[in-house]
Amino acid sequence: MNERLSGDITGVHDPAIIRAGYTYYLFSTTLAPQGDPGKPQIPIRISRDLIHWKLSGHVLPSVPGWAKAAIPGIHDLWAPDITYCNGRYWLYYACSTGGSNRSTIGLATTPMLGTAPWTDHGLVLQSREPDDFNAIDPAHLIDRNGRRWLAFGSFWSGIKMVALDRETGRPEQPFVLHSLAERLVPQGAPDPIEAPFLFERGGWYYLVASYDWCCKGASSTYYTVIGRSRDVLGPYVGRDGKSMRQGYGTVLLRADFRDRDRFRGPGHSAVLRDGGRDYIVYHAYDAAKNGMPTLRIAPLQWSSDGWPTAAM
């Protein structure tokens, strides 16, 4: 499938995807020239067949004023996540600068994709330098009981999650932080884990996360792991039963698989459930194009005991 992707697929980083009617909508991190906060933010790509993609506008006209005030030096908006809930499309996005946990997660909504404007609702969640977490890479989940959750996190102490108010999409009060996954590293060393994505299938909740280093072009070492749990709060374990809270998980995407020679650092994944089939949607860095991030999509094949393999 990856060999057939065409159109506006270069420049896709941190993809999020949803289907509305006969159209697939793909959102991604803004890659504005020189990181210009005045440029349109969060590009939208559309497709009718998951193969041919076309740029089709942006979510917001520029970096919102509240984000520039909260995060000095911010250049662009990162890592969107898209879901449909309560008659609206909810798009969470991250605001930060490289290597800092002074970060925020914002929210924009629209009643209809493709025609209606987006409304920005401002700050949802933030982290500051004294915190042991980083409020980026949001991932919204509605569990089997209708309760809403937001997973997030990058480095620091790993992947976290909070419960959301069903109507506002903001954290419930009192604010309770749950830990889902963390790498085991020496004290003081970076904790290279980020980009959570959660979905439910067959009575299990699955957590996808990216390990190691992104954003280094063809030198990126990103790879993607998965774990599962009967409880939305975990513990999420790999096929070997070892917990993602201790840095384990079953490898799902890695650059030493078949397409290793050209596409490096596969990660920041989303899972699309469509017509009885599941797909993993992710970015990888194209060594043939100076390490440019590029859209990749692979069908997932499921084992009889409920573990996916990416058909790359």
Rounded Cα distance between 220 and 255, Å, is 9
How many residues are present in the chain?
312
Residue pair 166/270 in contact by the 8 Å Cβ criterion:
no
Rounded Cα distance between 71 and 115, Å, is 31
Residue pair 27/78 in contact by the 8 Å Cβ criterion:
no
Residue pair 90/84 in contact by the 8 Å Cβ criterion:
yes
Catalytic residue among 76, 81, 137, 194: 194
Catalytic residue among 14, 81, 120, 182: 14
Q: Is there a catalytic annotation at residue 14?
A: yes
Q: What is the edge-to-edge ordering of all strands in the sheet holding 193-201?
A: 193-201, 204-211, 223-229, 250-253
Q: What is the edge-to-edge ordering of all strands in the sheet holding 16-20?
A: 6-7, 52-60, 41-47, 23-27, 16-20
Residue pair 278/300 in contact by the 8 Å Cβ criterion:
yes
Indicate the SS3 state at residue 114. coil
HEC sequence for 37-73? CCCCEEEEEEECCCCEEEEEEEEECCCCHHHHHHCCC
Q: Is there a catalytic annotation at residue 172?
A: no
Q: Measured between alpha carbons, how far is residue 50 from residues 43, 69, 266, 272 in Å?
A: 17, 38, 18, 11
Rounded Cα distance between 222 and 214, Å, is 5
Rounded Cα distance between 257 and 69, Å, is 43
Q: Which residues are catalytic?
A: 14, 194
